[in-house]
Every structure is written in C-alpha cells, then in structure tokens.
Amino acid sequence: MGHGGESRRAQAYDGELGAAVALAQSGDEAAFAVAYRLVQPGLLAYVRGLVGDDAEDVMSDAWLEIARDLGRFKGDGAGFRGWTATIARHRALDHLRRQRVRPRPSMLEQDVLDLPGPQNTYDQAMEAISTEYALELVGGLPRDQAEAVLLRVVVGLDGPAAARVLGKRPGAVRTAAYRGLKRLAKQLGAESVTDEASQTLGESK
C-alpha cells in the first residue's frame, strides 16, 4: 500500500496478527497474547493522542471489551487493527465525556521540559523528537486531523479503514490527515510537505 513509517511496519505483521487472532478465537490464549503485543503499542499511542496520560486506563477498558467480543470479530490482521481501534476510540471518547475535558493530552508545563522549540534547526527536528513534543504537536491539531494522522501513522490504518473508525468519508479523512501532517511539518521547521516517492498522501485505496 505504500504507507510510510509505522503503517508499513504494522502491515508487515498483519499476516502474523491475522493468524494469531484466528487461533485466539478458537481459544488459544498464547495466541491472544501475541495479538495483544502486536496491536497494543499502536493503540496506546493513538489513545494517548486523544486522552493523554489516562491512555493506559482507557486501553485496559478497551481490552476487556476486545477480549469479550473477540469471538464476534471477522477479518484479517488489518481488519483487527481497525476493529480494535474502533473499540479503543469509543472507550477514549467515553472517558472524555466522563471527565468532561477536551481531547487534548495533558501535558506538563512547557518550561519544565526541555522541548525543542522552533529555533531548533530543521535537521535536528527531523532527526528525532521526544514523545512529549510529538504529543504536544499532535495534540495541537484540530481533533479530526489529529485522529486522522494518528490512525494512519501509529495504528497503520489505510484510508478506508480510518474512515470507518472515524465514521467519516474516506476523502474527508484523507484531507484531514494531509492537513495535519502539513501542519506538523511546518511546526517542525519544514517549509512544506511533499508526497514525493512515497505517494502516501495521494493514495486513496
């Protein structure tokens, strides 16, 4: 599919994931643990983008539901990622409603952290950024853009799957992801974002 970064990585494991899920559905708890380890990091990162520090709690709730409904799921590894992302998202939104807070990660005070600011060079920024900084950047996006970017980048969902998770049209999600990435790039010091070789942004599979 040509996605960059994590999505490619996630998809590389989809075969293994699909097999693990199938086994788990027939009762194999070791296989369930394999599936857990494959999807949890991405889901946790996604949820963290929505609820911040409460991400672990939200994901615990989500996994209760995932385990309970595992027998209902039908699909392959990629489908499992989409299905679990949907569940995780619902739990995250429930959490936000209970807390009546806006979906922004709870960040520490800026001056406490040694956060790279705009004065850092482009080279530095593109080399690596801290988790906190990345969360702050993503948290600063409009929520539809943040979700679109996260689902794509950390959960590794393709356009249609992300659209289904978000309940939106694929075109809208694609646009939101593009805009989000563009904005992030600017904040990191890049002048613009190009699609170039990866063709990820123009893709609409």
Partner 1 sequence: MGERQSDGGPAGRRRVHPEGTPPLQGGPGPVLGGHRVVTAADLEKLLAAALIRDGVDAGAEQRAVAAFLAARETGALRARTRRRDDWRARRRRLGSHSLRATLSMVFAGLTLSGVAVAGIGVAGSSSDGPADEGRPTGVPSRTTAPSLTEPAGPGSGSGRPDRPGTAGDTEAHCRAYEKAEGRGRALEATAWKRLTEAAGGAADVDAYCAEQLRRASAEARPEDTRAPGAGNNGASGRAGNGSSGNASDNASGNASENASGNASDNASGNASDNASGNASENASGNASDNASGNASDNASGNAGNGSDNAARGADNGSDSSDSADSGAGDGEGGATADPEGKSVEPGARNP
* Residues in region 9-28 near partner 1 by CB under 8 A: 9, 24-27
CA distance 196 to 193: 9
By CB under 8 A, name the one of 4, 52, 103, 140 that touches partner 1. 4
119 binds partner 1 (CB under 8 A): no
| Shortest Cβ 93–partner 1 spacing (Å) | 15
190 binds partner 1 (CB under 8 A): yes
**Strand, coil or helix: what is 83?**
helix
Angle at 9 between CA 178 and CA 54, to 5 degrees: 70
- AA identity, residue 104: R
CA distance 35 to 18: 8
Residues of span 37-76 touching partner 1 by CB under 8 A: 37, 40-42, 44-45, 48-49, 56, 59-60, 63-64, 66-76
Residues of span 71-110 touching partner 1 by CB under 8 A: 71-76, 78-80, 82-83, 86
CA distance 98 to 175: 30
